[in-house]
Structure 1
Amino acid sequence: MNEQVLHKLKVLAESAKYDVSCASSGTVRRNTKGGVGNTVGGVGICHSFAEDGRCISLLKIMLTNYCIYDCAYCINRVSNDIPRATLSVTELVELTMEFYRRNYIEGLFLSSGVVRNPDYTMERLVRVAKDLRVKHRFNGYIHLKSIPGASQELVHEAGLYADRMSVNLEIPTERNLKLLAPEKDHRSVYLPMKYIQQGVLESAEERKLHRHAPRFVPAGQSTQMIVGATDETDKDILSVSSTLYRQPTMKRVYYSGYVAVNTYDKRLPLLKQPPLVRENRLYQADWLLRYYQFRVDELVDDASPHLDMEIDPKLAWALKHPELFPVDIQSADYEMLLRVPGIGVKSAKMIVMSRRFSRIGFYELKQMGAVMKKARFFITCRELPDKTIHELGPAGVRRLLLPKPKRKEDERQLTLDFSPLD
């Protein structure tokens, strides 16, 4: 790698770090004779963790950080005076292959600023993916960002080579998107999403008839919304997410706490740090929507449009509905078990299976993975004390489960640590 390419790599990797919509491939692409690499099913990427605990790395980079748009929230906006760089298609393909051969990475996450027009930029992204798959027979993971406003033909061609594609919504409502990015609109985002969905569904039908028909974006699509840059409530954000999840190909909605990279722009809020707690609560609520059969209006409503920042959304819901608790572990149905704080999907399934053979107590619940610190106030079973949410009240349970505030220590005091060494 020469110094020029190394400089481009540093600039473009730095510019790509704010895009968080790249966490799991969810696909299997086995190696073929004469090919290079493979994609393991269900693994995380970009320094995330696989189901077996492995850390998976990804080359996360932009093709170029030049951009014709002037979005207020973006570090790469055209009006910013920052280092700029552009990799040629050949440079990026060779960089990916060399990194893969050296076992630095297991895949590629590729995005780009928009240069000239959306189709010109999208065509270059497609060429990178095509060269990797066809010329170099690369079977590793590829995640491509679809450029808003790109034509259906280019989006469809990209889907033949990518494992996953994503189009970032960025701002949840059209009104605020127009405020911060006047050149953009939601239609240019939703159209590529529709093209990807059509391609995936058509590919699935074709593969039912022809086993070896080409796959189209086998890992589905994802998107990202910025949290805290505009005045949308958590109810607004989760309502958009719920609508997106009704699409059969939408796998993940990512939430990115707003990072104040353009503090000079008066349209943006002055935040000392990103709203990380709010971002975390939105991910927890998102999990409840996807796996715990919750609806948006059960977590947030017009009276309380924001999630509770002190406790997780599931616990907050349970404290608002004490009339539904405590539930009997021996007789409650699976759907109700899922709503007990401290009991997850795996624990609920194990409870339903195990109670057919014996009664379940405190020890058995802990062995099944239930978080008894929370669950003990919302269930009844043998060996548990009788102080449930009815005896303590929602306020009492909340006080017991709130994290204890850290005491401020006098830095002048000498603190001795008698904990055993590992």
Structure 2
Amino acid sequence: MTTLNNISSCVAQYDPRALPVTAAQAIVRQWATPVTAIERVPLHDALDRVLAEDIVSPSDVPAHDNSAMDGYAFHSAALANPSATVELAVAGRALAGHPFGGAVAVTQCVRVMTGASMPAGCDTVVLQERVTRTGDTIQFAASTVIAGANRRLAGEDLVRGSAALRAGRTLRASDLGLIASLGIAEVPVRRRLRVAFFSTGDELRSLGEPLEPGCVYDSNRHTLFAMLRRMNIDALDLGVVRDQPAALEAALRSAAASADVVLTSGGVSVGEADFTQQLLQTFGDVAFWSLAMRPGRPLAFGRVWSGDRPGLGRPALFFGLPGNPVAVMVTFYQIVREALLVMSGATRQPVALLRAASREMIRKRAGRTEYQRGVAERDARGQWHVTPTGSQSSGVLSSMSEANCFIVLEHERADVAPGEDVDIMLFDGLI
């Protein structure tokens, strides 16, 4: 059987014990395969779902030439003399949904409202503010109107048979409106990705349980659930699993049997009670287990099977995240999130980075990528500035709540001087 380790070793800079972030991302992309099942759902249930097939327009949009403004529709031949005053007889009116049924001569016009079909023989609309009307006659200066003005053409938005939306798009509110405008009530979407997750550690307690000496409440599961929910993924919470090989093995097999991806937090470092790596050697397959990044160095990626050895039973991708709360969020957004999007069938769209001037000195060691927490703001000239949130310890979860961005310090970069530009990744739209 081909292993992740064998194929991943072909990636540049491959070192399973201290893998650069870019190399880790490349390896994960190799193994993230989109789900194939397709569902048809009512339009009201399609928000944030991933479109499985192109939406093809069954008609021109708009279906007919129509007025873009309130005014008077007429034929542009009346504008032959740009220096003249145009005088036209009003032949009738047209409203949205109530077209004018007759033909219009060059010496005539039709009162039109926004969205009304252009009457036969008309190709231009003069705004109502630019005309003088006396009884059933209007006058306006020809120089104030351009031929074809204020007219929306049939098919100007979408041409019949063209793709209105492409497969792989995560559907937004505006997309649902667009689909509705085509008269389509159901849409084909990929089935939701299923992700099972649990925390490991004898010291962890769930909310509502008594907190004994030396124990802490498990925050990671709630953070993971929220991040998965934000991505519209089916999240299966398997609770807290104790640091016991048999319990961990049962939890991993159960998770692989029910989900496409398995996420754990804690248990992947080199501590005496960290058994996850050992178990993966038995019924899993590991591509890497440590990254050259901060926070988030101990991160394992591979596959697990529901059977008792690799290749037996149902497979699932596996991400063993660190135990520290901030490291869980950083590794999720920098490593896991893209894989989940790809597996959901979504078109890959890297998160945008902005340039900002650092307001403070930032300590950074070359040879690893760092994601520090910061507060970004724009000055009166539109220039972005960023200030670190203080302690960058991976156990200080409050720093994530205080921050509004990651300060992304690339692999080879060293210390950052005050005023020096850095990349920032805004939380808005991400977290």
TM range (shorter): under 0.3
> Given the two structures, how large is their TM-score scaled by the length of structure 2?
0.27
Which is richer in helix? 1
Which is richer in strand? 2
